[in-house]
Amino acid sequence: MRGPELSPRLRMVGELVPAGARLADVGTDHAYLPAALILEGKIPWAIAADLRQGPLDRARATVREYGLTGKVAFRLCDGLSGIRPGEVDAVAAAGMGGETIAAILTAAPWTLERDVPLILQPMSSFPDLRKWLGENGFAIEKERLAREGETLYTALSVRTGEMAPLSPAELWAGKNTADPLRGDWLDRWLVRVCQALEGMSRARREKPPARKRELEEVAAGLIDMKKEWEQWQT
């Protein structure tokens, strides 16, 4: 049976899930991701976890529709609180804020201790999440980009390990790659940073000079990465 059609964002996340893994899909909503991966034969089993009953009910409906009863377990829980160490081999946390993802991992230290592969798809607080990962024993192995309409999304493949410190610009936009979408990704971050700097210059209240210098350094780094990316495209 053909599985649910994944959006470009969820397809990007699914591509980073290790083959053969028992997956915990945190914030599962309709459980489209685990259902599609099971039907594709990429994973054998999954836990669909969500904080609210409504999304879990929708997940159960998806599982019934695609004949996957017995291959997906359901947990009504906050983050990973309802999942025991050793139950899963990989964790996906997609469509939530970076600070929420960091809080979920903080409350589940077994993900670090057991070197569980993490596929993280933050919607906000990108610099904070990357910084938190590096300061708490995690290493970003790769990042992917996907376009959905006019919106660009990123997903991080993360494991336990030491990560070299990221530059201010890398904290915002990730390490540079030759990804065809990377140019637009850098442009969007540069616009945001420049808008923040313009807002500081127009504000009547004096802003902390350290914050202004930080944003100027981020902008300069983004420009350098864009130039490097353009060279890779020739």
φ, ψ of residue 199 in degrees (nearest 5) = -65, -40
Task: Tell me what the mean pLDDT of segment 199-214 comes to.
Answer: 80
Percent of the chain surpassing pLDDT 90: 92
Q: What's the rounded Cα separation, in Å, for the pair 214 and 194?
A: 12
pLDDT greater than 80 at residue 81: yes
Residue-wise pLDDT for 82-110, tens only, equals 999 999 999 999 999 999 999 999 999 99
Task: Tell me what the mean pLDDT of segment 43-54 comes to.
Answer: 97
In one letter, which amino acid is 110? W
pTM of the model: 0.94
Tokens describing residue 42: 């990429």
Q: How distant, in Å, are the alpha carbons of 68, 72, 103, 129 from that of 56?
A: 15, 11, 21, 26
Task: Tell me what the mean pLDDT of segment 198-213 comes to.
Answer: 80
- What is the structure's pLDDT at 206? 65
